[in-house]
A = this chain, B = another copy of it.
Amino acid sequence: MNGLMLHKELLISSLIVHADRHHGDREIVSRRVEGDIHRYTFRDCHRRARQMANALTRLGVKVSDRVGTLAWNGYRHMELYYAISGMGAVMHTINPRLHADQIVYITEHAEDHYVFFDLTFLPLVEAIASRCTTVKAFIAMTDRSHMPQDCGIANLLCYEDLIEGNSADYAWPTFDEETACTLCYTSGTTGNPKGVLYSHRSSLLHTYAAALPDALNSSARDVILPVVPMFHVNAWGLPYIACMVGAKLVFPGPGLDGKSLYDLLESEQVTLSTGVPTIWQGLLTHLEQNGLRLSSMRRTIVGGAACPPVMLRKFQEGYGVDVLHAWGMTELSPIGTVAALKPRHQEMRTEDRYAVQSKQGRAVFGIDMKIVDAEGHELPWDGLTAGDLLVRGPWVVHSYFRNEGGSPLKIDGEAHGWFPTGDVATIDADGFMQITDRSKDVIKSGGEWISSIEIENIASAHPALASATCIAAKHPKWDERPLLLAVKKPEAQVTEAELLAFLEGKIAKWWTPDAVVFIDELPLGATGKVLKNRLRERFQDYLLPSRAESPT
């Protein structure tokens, strides 16, 4: 027997409708590619999204057609979020930092009918346009006066022309909430990129969960600056969350350096921001070098990669900004866990509390997680035992677009129906998960596992280092041994012996890296993550054979 409640489909369009009706005069402020600051309201955004929906309809875009974007965080991108998904088409956000060949691959694989792009990416679009066989036109996200001339793109349209040429008289259609709304490719380090196809239902449920007090904790009194890009897992859902709760949005556009971010944080009185550690390092450096304070920001959510404890401490003690460590994946829409403290954590000594905050956190409601051994048996939540992390829930992928790579969930036994994250983690009695490594990054020494992340987190705290990473290098006796790769701060000096001494007592003795190599910089991927596979390729033989020693 069914309940007797209204069945209302969970649809993306309901978010912008709610924002218009309940928070119509709330601002969206954007640093534009054109260089200036643009500001308007949710009501304006909704009107222009409806105009764009009419424009797309006239361009022949139909339900489930893919429409690509190559764009920064900005109001026009926000309009596309609602225009494309709202009309029932699929917004395909493309990471512009990928190699041109990969972008062509992705666009062809997704069969994008149109691609919108910020002017920053004109050279990129010029280079790939003729190779994107499914794309009927490229649309420059600018006005007539800024349109590129003689650019050699056969079918080029102007964003503002499309808006101005169409009425705002558009009624968002109703359809099944399982309908696809957005598509985002994971930039895997091996194999072809794989597309994750979100549904309206999965996105709405994710938005509810992500806005909760113990997740991103967003209200109508917040001013949110998403540094995490809208081209990567929907900026952690913030363009949706802001509409759900009526928070003011501040979009940084291409200005992701410390100074540009600081200026916006202050001028717009941002209360909440989100980003990956590499971006926050830039902000912290700018603050330190110029002796600046943060007058309004009270919380920052750090994710995308493990947040070094030293950064957590700097934000909290130096700037009065609460740091929430979060963890997610493209395959999780992306939010899986947030390290929101429990009452007993709040009573802890500072050091112990930081140790808890450094974990990836506990599952937001909707996500189930467990850790398993090699046979798929569940492991205890004791904070010590590490195993492969599996998740499931209504915003977790069940297969990739066009079944690329087969279903990741078809594992045997107990793990069937669970998504294998590729992370190795512990979970403590409070349900706080801590990633000890990526499955592929873990260092397997003499049959035991060494956490590369733990070593590099500790090493990164050395005052002379700008950054550090730890990788597995081949070893004749122990199969693999840790190798520490370190980047010094400008002018700073430190020796291998000093670094190893710095680690002493902070990690098990047999975890001590066999060697330290100083390099100029760490290679970063398109989303700011260290490309460890590239480093492994370069340094895999570093400990062979002359440097090989007993690790104990």
A→B interface (CB under 8 Å): 1-8, 10, 15, 18, 21-23, 25, 63-64, 90, 176, 178-181, 196-202, 205, 208-209, 211-214, 217-221, 244-246, 333, 340-343, 346, 362-363, 365-366, 368, 392-401, 409, 417, 419, 429-431
Q: A385 CB to closest chain B CB, in angstroms?
A: 16
Residues of B within 8 A of A199 (CB): 2-5
Residues of B within 8 A of A202 (CB): 3, 5
Closest 6 A-B residue pairs measured CB to CB?
A: A3-B199, A1-B64, A208-B208, A5-B202, A22-B431, A213-B219
Query: How far apart are the CA atoms of A180 and B198 in the complex, in Å?
Result: 28
A-B contact list, 20 entries, CB within 8 Å? A2-B178, A2-B199, A3-B198, A3-B202, A4-B196, A5-B394, A5-B395, A5-B398, A6-B394, A6-B398, A6-B409, A6-B419, A8-B393, A18-B368, A21-B368, A21-B431, A22-B363, A208-B209, A213-B217, A244-B365
Asked if B346 and A221 sit within 8 Å, CB to CB, the answer is yes
Query: How far apart are the CA atoms of A179 and B1 in the complex, in Å?
Result: 6
Q: A495 CB to closest chain B CB, in angstroms?
A: 45
> A179's contact among B2, B21, B245, by CB below 8 Å, is which?
B2
Q: A1 CB to closest chain B CB, in angstroms?
A: 4
Instruction: Write the chain B residue with the least CB distance to A5.
Output: B202
> A246's contact among B196, B342, B395, by CB below 8 Å, is which?
B342
Interface residues of A: mostly helix, strand, loop or mixed?
Answer: loop
Instruction: Write the chain B residue with the least CB distance to A208.
Output: B208
User: Given A221-B342, A340-B219, A341-B221, is A3 in contact with B393 using a C-beta cutoff of 8 Å?
Assistant: no
> A219's contact among B15, B214, B368, by CB below 8 Å, is which?
B214
User: Given A208-B208, A213-B219, is A2 in contact with B342 using a C-beta cutoff of 8 Å?
Assistant: no
Q: A22, A178, A340: which has the most chain B beta carbons within 10 Å?
A: A22
Query: How far apart are the CA atoms of A200 and B5 in the complex, in Å?
Result: 10
Residues of B within 8 A of A398 (CB): 4-7
Residues of B within 8 A of A8 (CB): 366, 392-394
